[in-house]
Structure formats: C-alpha cells, structure tokens
Amino acid sequence: MDYDELKNLQERVAYFTKKYMPLFQYTHNSDQTPLFDDKNNTCRFCGKSSPKVTFKKKAHAISELIGNKEFVSRNECDVCNEQFGNSFEDNLSKYLGITRNLSQIHSKKGVPSYKSESGKSRVDFTNKGIVIQDIEGSNFIEMKENGMLIHSVRQSYSPLSVYKSFVKMALSVLPYEYMFYFWSTVKWLGEKSDATSYYDMKDYEWIIERFVPGPRPLSLTLHGFIRNNDVIEVPFYQFVLEFGNYIYQIAVPCKFKDYNLGKSKNKITIYPMPHELEFIKFQFGKIETNFKVMNNPNKIKGEKLDVFMGFENCEIYDGNGKKIDDILKEEGINLKERLKYKPINLNEI
C-alpha cells in the first residue's frame, strides 16, 4: 500500500466521489443514533448464535475511551467482546495518551488526567479550564509566544494492536451484510499479536492521522466508504473516525475483495478524506497530516509525543513555597470538576 498526501483538495474530492460510495456517516449526540444490530441474534464476529453464546454485556461499537456512549453493538457476543476489548483498548489508551486529556474527551471516568513519567508534572481538565502542574527544569512544558509545547511520553504500546483497535471499530459499525467479506480479517483480529500472522495484512497496517487545531473542534463522527465497483483498484472499505482534535483514517483489510490490490504495475494509493474544515479558512489553522506505519506487534517504549496547545489566556503561578493544594484552593480550582464547555459549532464559523 502507498499513500500520497500531496494531492490537493480537489483531487482528493475527485478520488472519493469517483471511486467510492459513502456507506454511512454517524455523529454522536445527533438525532439519529444507530444501534448496530441484526435481528437474528448472531455474533457478527464469530458467527455463533444464542444459546451457544450470550449477549449480556453492553458492547461498544466504538471505544468508550474516545467518548462514545451511544454507539452500541447488539450483535457482538460476550466472548468476542472480552477477547477484543481488553488488549486493543489498553493499547489505544496508551497510544492516545495526553491527547485525550487535551481534547477533553469524556470517557467512562470523565476526562482523564495525565501524569508525566516522573509523576511530577500533570495535566487536569478542571472547572477553571486546563490546569497544568509542572516543576522547574522538568522540560515538560515549553512556553511559546502564543501557546505551549507539551513534551509528553507515551506509555508502552503495540502499534499493531492500536491499528487493530481501529479495524475492530470499523467492522463493528459496518452494515451486517458486508461482514461476509471480512471473515479472514476477523480471524486476523483474533490472532495473538506476538504470533506470526497467518493472514499477512502488512500492506494495510498503517493509519492516516490528522491533527485539527482548536478547542475540541470535532464531534465524534464515523464515516465509511465502499469502493464503487470491483474494477477500481483502491481498497474495498475505508473507515474514518474523528473526535476531539484528531481524524484517523484506515483502509480496512479485506483480502476477499482486495486480492488484486498491489498486483498491477500502478501502485495503489489512498488519500486523506476531504474534511469540511478544509473548505473554509479555519480560524485555528491548518490540519496536519501524518502517515504512520503500524505493523510493529512489539511494545514501543518511551515514544515522545509533543502536542502544541495554543491559548488566548494563560496564568502562571509561582509556587513560592506554597503548597499546591493551597494554591488550588485560593483559585477555586477543583481538579475533579469540569468546565462546562460547548464544542465549536461549525455552522457559526
């Protein structure tokens, strides 16, 4: 697989409109909340039905880590839910790291706090906005003219497991009738990450990661695109997930439909989905795009993650021997309370 970020917006629009059909677009907290359901009580992953398997647990089609509460899958059995849930979630959480905090993603336990490795610096989203505690010489925060650069470190994570967590979400929201084409993808998802893969999905194992500046500009939204016909040499299914400050896009492995991919003389390329913010002059700046190879099954340790945070207003408190708890009290900051905050309404820009 290959990619090309240099395509301009018009070319990308043409690529998507000519080669793909939009299959779905769901936005969290909108009027129509989809339930990913089939009527015959059969697990979309293992194909087993009740009473062989049970469907007691609430299966989130999209990870709760990124703020999902509504997108629930009714046809994921408890065994599959357990099997896929733990490992993928854990790796995804470590990969997203501080970005969940800075994008104010409300997960099951509220907005997570971020603590640096040494435990001496931390970021909390509070009733007074974002509060960052840091000590001199820690190199955690680098102040810039109109913002600050936060130097964080990701906890150890496996890139392949992170990629799989996106694939799992893409399959959870795919209309059921398409699941038939993805049986080998499901088998591959269930493989132990340290084992040699029987299915070889290497060509697919990367993500397009886009950073959108601004205070939580993106509502949790999912897009699915299916190739218009089987003659076109592009991946069969592309999935895009946007939330907070990030847009993630993957080509979902589908050996059944993509058996021809990569065999022709022309390299297969995919491009970032044109986003509505690219069509306007967005006040917070441009979208940054990264292409990341995610095929490493091993844990990556100590990966740096720098995030720039612009601000209009920043107050710096010097400790001056005071206890942090006292400073927080004086300023009326409650680390456990959240600022009431409305995301940007794109229609008002």
Where do contacts with Zn ion occur on this chain (CB under 5 A)?
43, 45-46, 77, 80
β-sheet bridge partners, residue 94? none
C-beta of 56 vs 144, nearer to Zn ion: 56
Nearer to Zn ion, 85 or 215 (CB): 85
| Smaller CB separation from Zn ion, 77 or 160 | 77
DSSP run (H or E) holding 221: strand 218-227
Of 23, 21, 15, 25, the closest CA to residue 222 belongs to 25
Q: H or E stretch including 151?
A: strand 147-153
CB of 53 to Zn ion, least distance (A): 6
Shortest Cβ 63–Zn ion spacing (Å): 18
Shortest distance, CB of residue 175 to Zn ion, whole angstroms? 18
CA dihedral for 314, 316, 317, 319, sign (positive or negative): positive
Nearer Cβ to Zn ion, position 45 or 237?
45
Minimal distance, residue 313 CB to Zn ion, in Å: 50
- Quick one: tokens of 323? 């206890």
Distance CA 102, CA 341 (A): 13
**Minimum CB separation from Zn ion for residue 73, in Å?**
11
Distance CA(220)–CA(310), nearest Å, equals 22
**Chain CA centroid to CA 244, Å:** 9
Q: CA-CA distance, 205 to 189, in Å (whole number)?
A: 12
Closer of 181 and 246 to Zn ion (Cβ): 181
How far is it, in rounded angstroms, from Cα 76 to Cα 35?
12
Q: Which residues pair with 125 in a beta bridge?
A: 130
Which of residues 77 and 307 has its CB atom nearest to Zn ion in the complex?
A: 77
Nearest distance, CB of residue 297 and Zn ion, angstroms? 23
Query: Nearer Cβ to Zn ion, position 43 or 307?
Result: 43
Q: Which of 13, 46 has the CB closer to Zn ion?
A: 46
User: What are the Cα distances from residue 53, in Å, to 46, 61, 62, 190, 298?
Assistant: 10, 18, 21, 17, 32
* Bond into 272 cis (ω within 30): no
The secondary structure element, H or E, covering residue 102 is helix 98-102
